[in-house]
Amino acid sequence: MMQRARDLDAADPIAHFRDRFDLPEGVIYLDGNSLGPLPKASRERLHQVIDAEWGEGLIRSWNELPGGGGDWIAMPQRVGAKIAPLVGAKPHEVIACDSVSVNLAKLIGAALSLNPGRNVVLSEPGNFPTDLYMIQGQSQVEQRLAERDQMIDALDEDVALLLLTHVHYKTGEMFDMERLTRAAHDVGAIVLWDLSHSGGAVPVDVNGANADLAVGCGYKYLNGGPGAPAYAFVAERHHGDFSQPLTGWFGHAQPFAFSDEYEPAEGVKRLLAGTPPVLAMAALESGVELIAEIGMEALVAKSRALSEFFRECVADLDLDLVSPRDPAQRGSQLSFRHANAYALSQALIARGVIGDFRDPDILRLGFAPAYLRFVDIAEAARHLAQVLETGEWQRDEFATRAAVT
Ligand SMILES: *Cc1c(COP(=O)(O)O)cnc(C)c1O
């Protein structure tokens, strides 16, 4: 397997991008789906923004600085425009701001504004918790949940919004975005896709699927840094009509007119609420630029090749794969069910193989294609085999749960 891994690395057209990341020695990082690693350019970029733009430019940096740089005021749109092609959107349909959670609240409100007279939001049980919590937090909304194989049957003319996560965070299962969007539109519902585990990892074409709304995460496959701003998409055809509940001054048509009356800005700019976090936005921009430079086509091909190679390497182990077997039907991850998944994940981490655990019994391994090598995959598989064979995971030290798993 090791020789085959080396051959695959030698033939990998994007192998050299690994050097653009700062990865610690002795670590095989299979958790880029939870927190992407540090791009070397982001460290440089943050230094420059801190020293030149904040330190020297001070408040002048909100506008473009004479020698270039600054222009902080335009960052949400600029970064959104760079994310747009990664998910099949037009540049002016995406904006970077706030967290996924906050954007969900805004876009659920936007969906209701586009579909007056309806108040049901349909989703699936076991969706990412914040997606469900944000539905439950809207007092005028009635939540309806349906299992995925009954989702289309659960759509009727009471449904204002179908809110689904494209790639399931736990199992890696992927919804057919085009098919579900069409089914929702057939009953007059709006569709909101959560792309947190999709953007930068799997093919996404929001406009090809005719999606209405979407949100996605900045700190996973886009490598924007811990707590990076998220992004939100509103299809151009809705730009004239939607409103959203968090009507802050940055979403005003003329924030610096300091008017008493709220008047929404054009298009997705209306989604802004308050002042953007400039340092976090700069790190996100740098992460997105790197993913865009590598290109989605090459990333998707390698993502599939890496996870398929891992399956080959562990074919002889007694493992219960819960992710779909067809790589085109899953995200860039493999999830295995094991009664002692937590202890297993801890034993692997002790060996430098960082994956994660998702309650109650899932060992989740992410295969972010921008920096992983096939030799890492073979090594990770070898460690997993040894941890299982030796029963090493049964040690007491691997049983205690930390606050973040
Ligand atoms: C990671 C993730 C989020 C994160 O939400 P935040 O508000 O940014 O913490 C939301 N939804 C899904 C599906 C996720 O995977």
Average pLDDT over residues 100-111: 98
Does the annotation mark 220 as catalytic? yes
Say how far apart CA 388 and CA 12 lie, in whole Å: 30
Q: What is the arithmetic mean of pLDDT over 189-213?
A: 98
As given in the structure block, the two tokens for residue 214 are: 């979407």
Does ligand 1 have an atom closer than 6 angstroms to the CB of 103? Answer: no
pLDDT band at 13 (very low <50, low <70, confident <90, very high): very high
Query: In which band, very low, low, confident or very high, does the pLDDT at 403 lie, cut at 50, 70 and 90?
Result: confident
Would you state the pLDDT for residue 1? 86
CA–CA distance, 300 with 103 (Å, rounded to integer):
26
Name which residue sits closest to atom 2 of ligand 1, judged by CA.
196
Mode of pairing for the β-strands spanning 94-97 and 230-234: antiparallel
* Contact between 155 and 184 (Cβ < 8 Å): yes
Cα–Cα dist 244/253, whole Å: 14
- The confidence score (pLDDT) of residue 100 equals 98
pLDDT, residue 342, reads: 94
What was the pLDDT predicted at 241? 95
What does the mean pLDDT of the chain come to?
97
Q: How far is the CA of 223 from the centre of ligand 1 (A)?
A: 14
Q: Which residues contact 289 (CB under 8 A, 6 or more apart)?
A: 41, 82
Assign domain 2-30+295-398 to its CATH superfamily.
Answer: Aspartate Aminotransferase, domain 1 (3.90.1150.10)
Q: What is the mean pLDDT of residues 205-229?
A: 98
- Measured from the Cβ of residue 240, the count of other Cβ atoms closer than 10 Å reads 8
| Model pLDDT, residue 54 | 98
Active site (annotated) includes residue 90: no
pLDDT at residue 400 is higher than 90: no
Is the CATH number of domain 45-293 3.40.50.2300? no
399 has pLDDT over 90:
no
Q: Does the Cβ of 175 fall within 6 Å of ligand 1?
A: no
Is 242 annotated as ligand-binding? no
Q: In terms of DSSP bridges, do strands 356-358 and 353-354 run parallel, antiparallel, or are they unpaired?
A: unpaired
For 228-250, the pLDDT digits (tens) are: 999 999 999 999 999 999 999 99
pLDDT value of residue 402: 82
Q: Is 100 in the pocket of ligand 1 (CB under 6 A)?
A: yes
Q: Is 90 exceeded by the pLDDT of residue 143? A: yes
Give the span between the Cα atoms of 97 and 228, in whole angstroms: 9
The question of whether 364 is a catalytic residue gets the answer yes
- Give per-residue pLDDT as tens, 33-87: 999 999 999 999 999 999 999 999 999 999 999 989 999 999 999 999 999 999 9
Give the mean pLDDT of 150-164. Answer: 98
Q: What is the mean pLDDT of residues 215-231?
A: 98
Handedness of CA 345, 348, 352, 354 (dihedral sign): negative
The domain spans of the chain are 2-30+295-398, 45-293
Q: Is the pLDDT of residue 286 over 90?
A: yes
1 token code pair: 């397997």
The predicted pLDDT at position 69 comes to: 92
Cβ of residue 196 lying under 6 Å from some atom of ligand 1 = yes
